[in-house]
Structure 1
Amino acid sequence: MTQMSISRDDYTSYETGLARFWLLVCFCLWLPASWAAGEPLSEEQVIGLFYARNLSLISAEFGLETAQAQKLIAAAIPNPELNLYSQELAPNYPIASNGPVIYVSVSQLIETAGKRRLRMENSLLGEQAAESDLRDAIRTLTQAVRRAYYDLLLAQETMEATQEQSRHVQRLVEVQQKRFDVGDISERDLTRIKIEALKSQSDIDKTTAQVVSARSQLAVFLAWPEETAHLSVKDQWPDGKAFDDLKDAVSAVGFAMERRPDLLAARTRYAQAKQGIDLAKAQRIPDVRITAGFAHDLGNFVQNGATLGISVPLPLFYRQEGEIAQAGIRSNDAELRVRQTEVAVHSEVSTAFAAWISANTIVKRFETEVLQKAKHIRDSAEIAYTNGSTDIIDLIQAQRDYRNTILDYYQAQANRAYAYADLKMAIGEE
């Protein structure tokens, strides 16, 4: 099988990331007080609150603490044993000065073949893998909270656009009412524009429900249900500058191969499994137990003397063949998981990068072409209807088209934000 090794240098960026994670946790401690004034939360603030309050993330930290405890256990030196016993106990002795024999000894197990060192190295790899598991939990959960953040931002912007559309239609109603009062338009046209105003009000009711739902979902991630009704986020979509160094899908895949915590965890566990083979082989070499003590025997010619003993198990019939075979199987399985994870990373990054390019292109097209044209068509329809060169149907349709274009633009921004979150997760960034 292919050899793999994990050096401590591979974890430099991950240790830096963990330090940044805990800094964000401390940073968010003052957020509830500062947010009480009703200020909308930024994406960074929401993620900071999420790191400190999310129950799933807190639970994931226990895996790292367990691995750290295992490292302490692996480094432990066997404790010595104190033995105190007596023999030749009897109710009467032929010679009055005689008595029972008393032995006091201390025995110590001496581990051979570097077993303790191998255990410590193995547990260190386990701790490093647990660190990567925690980073992977942070990576995936952060992507989920980002999506919830963007859901609420989309709902807020949809609400604002719907309200603006409603106000715009209401102003049209007021203008057309004046024209109807002077006999410039028919009652039929006035009724149609009033119906359009009622529809825009219904749209406000629908988007209000969407805002409430998005707030509730974000509050679940923050474990903050008591603040659901007050949650709001800043009107700030991601611009994607974090991906400026990713020129193409190949560079994105290469970047992910160096940073993805799930891949690093798989590689570390493979190194741990390989090292486990050495530990299993070392178990074939017997440990030595040395015993030293003192004997007090009044019936012996030498009444007081030292004792010294050594015991070694003889591996005549069994030499750890089963454990060594199991360690080899675990190593092969761990290597297979590394290959599977590498394939998954390549696929996820390629898909996420393509989705980001597509979503970013669509948003730019809206901003450079579509929005301006939609607004021009709406304004032109209003002027044309005022001048009598078109009918109310064209005006209403132009209003609807403009509203739908704005909503499509906001949805495109949300899709780009989702693609942004997915790509950040795919390349291994929080």
Structure 2
Amino acid sequence: MQKSTFWYLLLSLSFAFSSPSTLAQQSAKLKIDEIQRLGLQANGLVLAARSQVDMAKAGVVAASAFLNPEVTVTAGPDSNRYSLAITGPTSMQRSVTVNQPIENPIMRSARISASEAIVGASRASFDQVRADLAAQLRVRSYELLLRQEQFAMEQNIYDLVDDVRRRIKINVERGEAARFELIRADTEVQNAANRKEAARLGVQRARIALMQFTAGAIPADFEISASLKDPVNLPPLEELRIQVPQVNPDVVRLQAEQERATQRISQEKASVLPQINVLYTNYQDAQFTSNMAGMSIRIPLWYRRRGEIDTAIYDSARIRDTLEFRRYEIGQLFESAWQMLQIAQRRVDMFEGGLLKEAENAVEVARAAHRFGERGLLEFLDTQRILRGIVGDSLLARFDLQSAAAEIDRLRAHYPRELLVE
């Protein structure tokens, strides 16, 4: 029994010490939507935009509050002007006045509606920040994948050129090839090594940039569980043309600001109406107690807030014109992104249609021919350079495809909202 208990404790301790590293290895494999979630939760700009929404909600509470009453208290002793035989003993006087402003219900309703419109504008700005950041995180993630693919390509080219260089060195040592061939091969190996090192540094730079957008919320040794070959799933073109100008956060924000400007016009016009204050006064002295009620009315007789009303009208016109232009501009940005998507898709189809495979086969044939002495080093290197250019263009085409899709999702504010805590 004691022996079984000992083994149980030993296994428990080994599991406790080994499970964190295992979990760390599992958590280091992140999908792109998980990277977006972590970035949206940790980025300071998103948190600041969320605070703007909370501030706007607090503004609605302030706008909905009723005006506070004003209480005035006065007290003081009487002073004799004649003898006590005539006036009698002195006393204290006390007066309490309550002034309650009665707010115009039209102006109150307009003020509350304007504050609620500010909340809508703040939420739209919040959505814009999140959409921009989510698109940046997606593009940066695929950029990291692009740099990793480029590094793998340069590594393969380096291994290929280095293998050819070793064969040339053997032939030179046997006297079957000129010394000049080895010098040329050494130069190509050095160039391949430089390109490989530059590609490796590009991977590190892309990784740091992605971590910067996530505010360090992801581990330093993370890996992305995605590929440049990921399919792009978007709604049909006609549906997107209708959807984008309606749901774009910038357009929604301008619509909310236009509503706020309209309510401000109503508020300024309602402020021209007379303002009423209800008064109540309680007066007490040695002999009498009196209660008086009444009202005071402020009449806008000389100045009827013409300047404030005109300012609100012109501000509403400015926002309306900006909204119309911005809606048109968003539509054109979407058309441009859609064309970029189509161009990138055609380029990907072109490379996948056999061009990339033919270039790889040409390199293998040139390599075999050079091995058997049927082709020179220059022909092999030319074929290898052609393959490198085609592979590089193929990777860039896939990256452009993902970038165009991310831009369309940004314009329509499409990001993993279900993973966020509002």
TM range (shorter): 0.7 to 0.9
Q: Distance in 2 between matches of 1:62 and 1:280?
A: 29
Structure 2 residue 103 is the aligned partner of structure 1 residue 115: no
Shift of 1:385: 2.4
Asked if the contact 2:232–2:402 (Cα under 8 Å) also holds between the matched residues in 1, the reply is no
Q: Distance in 2 between matches of 1:102 and 1:111?
A: 29
> What is the letter of the counterpart of residue 236 of structure 1?
S
Match of 1:327 in 2: 312
Question: How do 1:13-412 and structure 2 match up within 5 A?
Answer: 35=24, 39-86=28-75, 89-90=78-79, 95-177=87-169, 185-224=177-216, 230-237=221-228, 239-243=230-234, 245-247=235-237, 250-299=238-287, 303-412=288-397
Q: Distance in 1 between matches of 2:218 and 2:307?
A: 57
Shift of 1:89: 3.4
Task: Give the aligned CA root-mean-square deviation in angstroms.
Answer: 2.7
> What is the letter of the counterpart of residue 345 of structure 2?
N
Shift of 1:83: 2.1
Match of 1:425 in 2: 410
Asked if the contact 1:284–1:319 (Cα under 8 Å) also holds between the matched residues in 2, the reply is yes
> What is the letter of the counterpart of residue 73 of structure 2?
L
Deviation per CA, 1:36-89: give whole Å up to 9, x if none.
Answer: 667243212221221122222222223222211211110110112222213663
Q: Distance in 1 between matches of 2:258 and 2:63?
A: 19
Asked if the contact 1:352–1:426 (Cα under 8 Å) also holds between the matched residues in 2, the reply is no
Q: Distance in 2 between matches of 1:293 and 1:35?
A: 74
- CA separation of 1:76 and 1:166: change in aligned 2, threshold 3 A: same
> What is the letter of the counterpart of residue 291 of structure 2?
A
Asked if the contact 1:216–1:225 (Cα under 8 Å) also holds between the matched residues in 2, the reply is no
Structure 2 residue 399 is the aligned partner of structure 1 residue 414: yes
Shift of 1:390: 2.0
Q: Distance in 1 between matches of 2:398 and 2:373?
A: 37
- CA separation of 1:124 and 1:238: change in aligned 2, threshold 3 A: farther
TM-score, structure 2 as length reference = 0.84
Shift of 1:210: 1.2
Q: Distance in 1 between matches of 2:297 and 2:25?
A: 70
Q: Distance in 2 between matches of 1:268 and 1:34?
A: 46
Q: Answer with 416-425 or 343-352: which moved more.
A: 416-425
Shift of 1:259: 0.9
Q: Distance in 1 between matches of 2:338 and 2:272?
A: 51
Asked if the contact 1:79–1:108 (Cα under 8 Å) also holds between the matched residues in 2, the reply is yes
Asked if the contact 1:153–1:234 (Cα under 8 Å) also holds between the matched residues in 2, the reply is no
> What is the letter of the counterpart of residue 233 of structure 1?
I
Q: Distance in 2 between matches of 1:236 and 1:390?
A: 37
Q: Distance in 1 between matches of 2:209 and 2:134?
A: 14
Shift of 1:173: 3.6
Match of 1:5 in 2: none
- CA separation of 1:121 and 1:370: change in aligned 2, threshold 3 A: same
Q: Distance in 2 between matches of 1:35 and 1:106?
A: 68
Shift of 1:306: 1.9
Q: Distance in 2 between matches of 1:344 and 1:320?
A: 36
- CA separation of 1:354 and 1:199: change in aligned 2, threshold 3 A: same
Asked if the contact 2:79–2:90 (Cα under 8 Å) also holds between the matched residues in 1, the reply is no
Shift of 1:184: 5.3
Q: Distance in 2 between matches of 1:402 and 1:89?
A: 109
- CA separation of 1:188 and 1:235: change in aligned 2, threshold 3 A: farther
Match of 1:16 in 2: none
Asked if the contact 1:106–1:293 (Cα under 8 Å) also holds between the matched residues in 2, the reply is yes
Q: Distance in 1 between matches of 2:101 and 2:210?
A: 57
- CA separation of 1:394 and 1:238: change in aligned 2, threshold 3 A: closer
Match of 2:12 in 1: none
Q: Distance in 2 between matches of 1:198 and 1:346?
A: 49
Asked if the contact 2:42–2:217 (Cα under 8 Å) also holds between the matched residues in 1, the reply is no
SS for the counterpart of 2:96 is: strand
Q: Answer with 80-89 or 283-292: which moved more.
A: 80-89
SS for the counterpart of 1:84 is: strand
Q: Distance in 2 between matches of 1:95 and 1:127?
A: 66
SS for the counterpart of 1:114 is: helix
Shift of 1:232: 4.2
- CA separation of 1:34 and 1:337: change in aligned 2, threshold 3 A: farther
TM-score, structure 1 as length reference = 0.83
Q: Distance in 2 between matches of 1:427 and 1:239?
A: 20
Q: Distance in 2 between matches of 1:197 and 1:238?
A: 30
Q: Answer with 186-195 or 389-398: which moved more.
A: 186-195
Structure 2: 5+ residue stretches without partners: 1-20, 416-422
> What is the letter of the counterpart of residue 272 of structure 2?
R
Shift of 1:211: 1.7
Shift of 1:416: 1.7
SS for the counterpart of 2:99 is: strand
Match of 2:4 in 1: none
Q: Answer with 102-111 or 168-177: which moved more.
A: 168-177
Asked if the contact 2:107–2:270 (Cα under 8 Å) also holds between the matched residues in 1, the reply is yes
